[in-house]
Structure 1
Amino acid sequence: MPGSLQSVRLQSLRWRLLRTVCLASLCGLALTATMSYWQAQHEAEELMDGHLAQSARLLLALVRDNEAHLGDLATRLATVRSNEENLYEPPLEFQIGGGDGALLLRSEHAPPVDLSAPAGYTDIEHDGQPWRILSLVAGSGDYRVQVGQSIALRDRAALEVAVQSILPIALMSPLLLLLLYYSVRRGLKPLDDLTADVAARSPDNLMPLAGRRVPTEAQPLVVALNRLLFRLRATLDNERRFTADAAHELRTPLAVVRIHAQVAQLTADTADRQHALDQVLAGTDRATRVVEQLLRLARLDPLARLPTSSEINLAELAQRVLADTQVPANRPGPRLQTRGTPLSVSGDGELLEIALRTLLDNALRHTPDEARITVFVRREAGEVALAVADDGPGVAADELPRLAERFHRGSEAGGDGSGLGLAIAQRIAELHGARLEVENLAAGGFEARLRWPRPAASVLQRG
């Protein structure tokens, strides 16, 4: 477990960002230090070459002023010889000759280079060590001077200069990394606050996260989390509602079934026993229907869109549903008919059949015998409608807005429905981008319909 936590930490945004920024900064510092080193070394060598040229000119001037005392000049120059331990003053070796190249004067460790060599800088080998030599000729041509320094000593001095130039960069690197760490930590603090907010929440706290102080880059994450919280809250609400609805609706039919079962168990009269058993069957049928409708609602509520979608011919769907509808044998039954034009919508055929069967079943349960029930497929004001109309008593006007509420049944309803049919039809309409409308007809009767807006429907052409 600790290993897995460490792995998660290493993969955190903070450490990944710190690692990337620090590596990039170190690479930049290393590149800067390298360029500074090379530049400082080059400038140090240029400076030493300039020192050689200046020393050569001074020697020429001293020789011309001390032509009669060259021996004494050599002694005096030996006394001002620099110390090899001083990196910034490497020993200067020299040779002085006449215009013809004849040697007149030389220092103790000067490399034996021909004085007649062309003027300028040259690198030579002396005693296994590289040397930098500058040959210079007086303007009058009567004297020649050679000055030289050990390249190894020059390199040591150049290295020291280069190291000193990059030392501030090396010393600033740890401070820069600390500043980067502090900056990244402070910059990601809103994400830490967001994490703390989520971690401190209880399981039943599904309120949206506050995104006012969250960086712009994290706003899509907050929006996605809020959408997820909204869906979770809707799912939990649906589950709670389903549980409450099931408990509420099943309590009565199950109690009735139990009472009639006890009556059938205790009564000795055959007719009373048969009546009680019939009531048990009727109560069981009602409980089964309630459970089926509750399960259907539980399946429809979580859907954000249709499971499948295809072009549905509403006229054919109405004829198919009407042909499969059976009127109970113990009643004359209303007269069923269908009217309409071949219109089509995009949707799920199975769900639309359920919606139409629900509206038709609702009409059958609340319409008196010998009434007429008509299924319409028509176009109204450019919109497509699938409607079920009857010439029954209708519904009280003040109850129309509540008919689609779950478990609400009209006060004058004569059937034994559960009050879930129109709620199911309304949910199916929502999934299809349609709306459920109910109204009392002016000539008497009641109509419930699904209406699609214009963009969602199209006319199905037939020959």
Structure 2
Amino acid sequence: MLFDSLKRRIVLLCIVALSVIWLGALAISYLDARKEVRELFDAHLAQAASLLAAQSGAELEEIDTDHAVDLHKYAHSVSFQIWNAGTHLGLHSANAPATALGTRDEGFSDREIDGVQWRVFTSWDQERENLIYVGEKVATRDHLLKEMVEHLLQPMLYALPLLALLLWLAVYLGLRPLDRVTAEIARRDPQRLDAVDAIGAPSEVRPLIGQLNQLLARIAESLDNTRRFTADAAHELRTPLAAIRAQAQVAQGSHARDEQDRAIQQVLRGCDLATHLIEQLLTLARLDASSRPACEPVELRALVAEVLAEVAASAVNTQVAVALEEGDSLQLQIQPGLIRVLLRNLLDNAIRYSPAGSEVSVAIHTGNRNAIIDVLDSGPGIPADQLERVFDRFHRVLGSAQPGSGLGLSIARRIAEIHGGSILIQPREEGAGLRVRTTLPVR
């Protein structure tokens, strides 16, 4: 299309702008020139009338106007009349009409005679015996102004195509760095995600190249995360699948009923572990691919109570008590399904690592326009140098005998981040265990 090209758009807009400015200047010049030309012609008429008035009556009668030679192409458009006593036509130019040219006894006037418009200056001679009219055809003045406008327009008609060509050349040369960047990107292999060279690019293009390089960096990081995720997922799935296969072979090769039952129980346990790992992987994949979720108003304390009720059975099996501390109700704009996953992962970890007979508690409070959820356990804690690493995918604390995928905290942090919040792990101020603090903004 016409405006699809940046070069054509710039050239056309410049030509239109110059044309508007040129035409505006031409209109102003024309109006000013018309005023000056009319004043100049009026001055000539007044001057001619004063020269005729300065001559004596006898001298004027001796002038032969019938055989006078026109010395200029516009001479026939100027006429004069001398009326004796203002009533009888005396000396006059050959092209003067028989009717009095003017309509006034003194000064300038306009009159139409036989379809011809005249501009006339009227004056008496010194003795006030002769009334002198000197007139000029208005058509001659208009013709001169028309020629003046044409002469002003002609350079524009020749200059605009030349100007358009020069502008096109200037725009082409000015946008060559952008063409170079376009060509470089077009030649790139899909796997090449290194930064585009901005050396030599104009300052207007550098922000675009900078944003493009940032996008390429984010894409490269996303691809690297995807590759690591795929490799780690394959590695983590290999372990429970190998265990399931081994136990299935034991059950297949055993003839003792008790040994077969134990092997089948191990197969089922391995299937549960594999299922849990796959669910965690799918959840993490969905979180990585999504942007901010669709939120809705949720009463946070009621949601936490529901999740505590869901994990109560597993807590009873490990002889761990769960409790929700007293506090005010608080309504948040959140995605309840994702926050439920976050809370369940944190509570599962707390219950799994807490010793029998201990308690896992949840406290809810506010601070700095944030909702704060603290999950406190009585477990062995985490070494200080690994407090941040536990959020890495598939990371397990060395020496831990508890089963798990190493994805729960990664998923919880990602859910908090897409809600605009964060998760922080700290040792408890009193006694053994950890405080896992989730901060969510109150909107």
User: Normalised by the size of structure 2, how large is the TM-score?
Assistant: 0.78
**Could you say what secondary structure the match of 1:78 adopts?**
coil
Aligned letter for 2:311? Answer: T
**Could you say what secondary structure the match of 2:377 adopts?**
strand
Task: Name the structure 2 match of 1:33.
Answer: 26
More displaced, 188-197 or 237-246? 188-197
User: Are the equivalent residues in 1 in contact too, given 2:251–2:264 (CA < 8 A)?
Assistant: yes
Question: How far off its partner does 1:78 sit?
Answer: 3.2
Deviation per CA, 1:152-192, whole angstroms, max 9, x where unpaired? 34433343234334444544444554555556556666765
**Aligned partners of 2:291 and 2:416: how far apart in 1?**
13
Establish whether residue 74 from structure 1 lines up as the match of residue 64 from structure 2. Answer: yes
Establish whether residue 152 from structure 1 lines up as the match of residue 139 from structure 2. Answer: yes
Say which of 334, 337, 343 aligns to 2:319.
334
User: Are the equivalent residues in 2 in contact too, given 1:366–1:414 (CA < 8 A)?
Assistant: no
Say which of 348, 354, 358 aligns to 1:361.
348
**Aligned partners of 1:305 and 1:439: how far apart in 2?**
31
Establish whether residue 409 from structure 1 lines up as the match of residue 396 from structure 2. Answer: yes
How is 1:61-460 mapped onto 2 (pairs within 5 angstroms)? 61-64=54-57, 66=59, 70-71=61-62, 73-74=63-64, 78-83=67-72, 86-87=73-74, 89-99=75-85, 101-114=87-100, 118-126=105-113, 128-178=115-165, 180-181=167-168, 195=182, 199=186, 201-206=188-193, 213-215=202-204, 232-233=219-220, 235-305=222-292, 307-308=294-295, 310=297, 312-314=299-301, 316-325=302-311, 333-338=318-323, 340-343=325-328, 346=332, 347-367=334-354, 370-377=356-363, 384-390=372-378, 392-395=379-382, 399-430=386-417, 431=419, 433-439=421-427, 443-444=431-432, 446-452=433-439, 456=441
Question: How far off its partner does 1:130 sit?
Answer: 3.6
Change (3 A) 1:230 1:303: farther
User: Are the equivalent residues in 1 in contact too, given 2:342–2:415 (CA < 8 A)?
Assistant: yes
Say which of 38, 47, 51 aligns to 1:45.
38
**Aligned partners of 2:422 and 2:119: how far apart in 1?**
95
**Aligned partners of 2:299 and 2:187: how far apart in 1?**
50
Cα RMSD for the two superposed structures: 4.2
**Aligned partners of 2:344 and 2:133: how far apart in 1?**
116
User: Which ranges of structure 1 fall in alignment gaps of 5 or more residues?
Assistant: 1-6, 459-463
**Could you say what secondary structure the match of 2:359 adopts?**
strand
User: Are the equivalent residues in 2 in contact too, given 1:235–1:302 (CA < 8 A)?
Assistant: no
Change (3 A) 1:432 1:28: closer
Aligned letter for 1:250? Answer: L
Change (3 A) 1:103 1:138: same
User: Are the equivalent residues in 2 in contact too, given 1:403–1:409 (CA < 8 A)?
Assistant: yes
**Aligned partners of 2:311 and 2:233: how far apart in 1?**
27
User: Normalised by the size of structure 1, how large is the TM-score?
Assistant: 0.75
Change (3 A) 1:40 1:78: farther
Percent of pairs with identical residues: 35
Question: How far off its partner does 1:292 sit?
Answer: 0.7
Aligned residue pairs, count? 435
User: Are the equivalent residues in 2 in contact too, given 1:119–1:134 (CA < 8 A)?
Assistant: yes
Change (3 A) 1:33 1:178: farther
**Aligned partners of 2:114 and 2:219: how far apart in 1?**
87
More displaced, 125-134 or 182-191? 182-191
Question: How far off its partner does 1:281 sit?
Answer: 2.1
Aligned letter for 1:435? Answer: I
**Could you say what secondary structure the match of 1:338 adopts?**
strand
Question: How far off its partner does 1:322 sit?
Answer: 3.4
More displaced, 145-154 or 134-143? 145-154
Task: Name the structure 1 match of 2:17.
Answer: 24
Question: How far off its partner does 1:74 sit?
Answer: 0.8
Aligned letter for 1:426? Answer: R
**Aligned partners of 1:355 and 1:349: how far apart in 2?**
10
Question: How far off its partner does 1:295 sit?
Answer: 1.3
User: Are the equivalent residues in 1 in contact too, given 2:254–2:260 (CA < 8 A)?
Assistant: yes
Question: How far off its partner does 1:101 sit?
Answer: 4.0
User: Are the equivalent residues in 1 in contact too, given 2:244–2:271 (CA < 8 A)?
Assistant: yes
